[in-house]
């Protein structure tokens, strides 16, 4: 393996690591949003005196669960894709 091929493999490995870290950050952002929505909904339920604010609070709480589920599903799908790319890169490296 010459120096150019070795550097190409190193760049691919670093790109995969960056993608994994970005995927984790995205999951944490989804979860952060879900928690904020849930807390906002609970706060509106407890602190509001008007019916329409309570209705908004009732809507925000299930929406927060949906956002959390979407985040976890998105994370798992992308993680599988990253693992498949790692396996493909390892197979290509073994062939070289």
Backbone phi and psi for residue 43, each to the nearest 5 degrees, phi listed first: -65, -40
CB 61, CB 38: distance < 8 Å: yes
Low-confidence ranges of the chain (pLDDT < 50): none
pLDDT computed for residue 3 by the predictor: 66
- pTM here? 0.81
Distance, in Å, from the CA atom of 43 to the CA atom of 8, rounded to the nearest integer, reads 52
pLDDT computed for residue 96 by the predictor: 59
Backbone phi and psi for residue 51, each to the nearest 5 degrees, phi listed first: -65, -40
pLDDT computed for residue 66 by the predictor: 98
């Amino acid at each position: 393996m010459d120096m150019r091929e070795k550097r190409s493999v190193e760049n691919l490995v670093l790109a995969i690591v960056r993608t994994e870290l970005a995927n984790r950050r995205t999951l944490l952002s989804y979860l952060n949003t879900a928690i904020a929505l849930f807390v906002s909904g609970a706060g509106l339920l407890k602190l509001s005196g008007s019916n329409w604010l309570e209705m908004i609070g009732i809507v925000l709480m299930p929406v927060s669960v949906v956002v959390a589920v979407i985040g976890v599903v998105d994370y798992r799908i992308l993680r599988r894709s990253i693992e498949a790319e790692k396996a493909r890169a390892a197979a290509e490296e073994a062939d070289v």
